[in-house]
Amino acid sequence: MTEIQKQAQQLGDYMVLWRRQFHQFPELSLQEAATSRHIQQELQNMGLEPVVLKNRSVIARLDGPLPGRRLAIRADIDALPLQEDTGLSYASQVPGVMHACGHDYHAACLLGVAKLLLQNQKSLCGSVYLCFQTAEEVSEGGAWQIVDYLKENGGVDQAIAAHVSGSLPGGHIQLPAGPMMAGIAQWTLTVSGTGGHGSRPDLCRDPIRPASDILREFSAIPVNRHAPFDVCVINPCTFHAGTAFNIVPEQAVVSGNLRYFKPGDIDVIRRSMEEIAAGIAAAHGCRATLDFEGMLPPCYNDPEAAAAGQALCAQLGIPLAPSGDPDTGSDDFAEFLSAFSGFYLRIGAHSGQPGTVGVHHNPRFALDDSSLPTAAAFLAAYAATFLRA
């Protein structure tokens, strides 16, 4: 066991205490006032000087005695609109709000990392930015404000984040190279025609048929217009048109999302969707517009950084979980990985406690927080290695 691992074990109770404090008093995205305040105060108690952004994200810079590289470590801190049903002694005391994705674990872990890095500060060459991020769970996400702050202050050489997993065995780390989580975009298709009475469709331009044809062709993009080695999914989720059985509507509006794993694929997919929509609508004498929002790139682990992380796991004796398939969910830490190189890993904390589950975003979600020292030791050791002279 390395010195940092021993120090992390000694901080175990400290991190568990903070994790359960955050768990009992969760706050929704963009409402993390008390959580942010507690983090600020604790960082100040350590002698750090945290900066608070407009969205209440907290950033503290920890400098070594010598200049060198710069590393950002992110922990998200927001909770979910769920009524907890775990029966835990430290269950949420806030009705309808719960830490059901482990962000309480992340916040407590990064506080532990701060203490570990302070204990080893003299060996650091460079700077670590400890980033406590609000609003990860909403589409307008808080990552971009932190990324902008980092860019305005000279940027960083790498950014890393650990996300707890309720399904992986406790203390195991999953850290593959390449795609880790999907990129996402929300899209809205509007097909405009000419409305009229259902008895004279020849005088109308029905938007429903072209909208349906467009959706059918969208489903063929992954096969006919996209490389077969790269996965993408285009998923329509709403379809609204018409108000009565005998009136041809003027518009059909469809919305959905698309997901992909290869950085840059959004440009190919978007262009294909726009070409298909415009062509089919025109063939029906209609017009089509396609709007995209909530766009987020994939979480893509830099192969060199991931290899360094895997080597560190071997050095620390931390078991590596099989890589498995990339997750089709999304995380706005992708904004960090799009701006800087780095990686996103999972740390196992399967609970197995009766009446609870390891499925995230579930009212009975629970974690085994005894893996906190492993997570903190890895992150701190990676920082110390990365900032070594």
Residues marked as catalytic: 78, 136
How many of the other CB atoms lie within 10 Å of CB of 208?
A: 18
Inter-residue contact 131 to 36 (CB < 8 Å): no
226 is in an annotated binding site: no
240 is in an annotated binding site: no
163 is in an annotated binding site: yes
CA distances from 180 to 174, 227, 259, 309 (A): 10, 19, 13, 14
101 is in an annotated binding site: yes
Cα-to-chain-centroid distance, residue 178: 16
CA distances from 284 to 150, 193, 200, 210, 247 (A): 49, 9, 16, 6, 18
99 is in an annotated binding site: no
CA distances from 147 to 57, 106, 156, 258 (A): 11, 18, 10, 24
Inter-residue contact 373 to 318 (CB < 8 Å): no
Inter-residue contact 288 to 277 (CB < 8 Å): yes
Residue with tokens 């080893």: 120
User: What count of Cα atoms within 13 Å lies in the side-chain half-sphere of residue 297?
Assistant: 20
- Annotated binding-site residue numbers for Mn(2+): 101, 103, 137, 163, 361
- Annotated binding-site residue numbers: 101, 103, 137, 163, 361
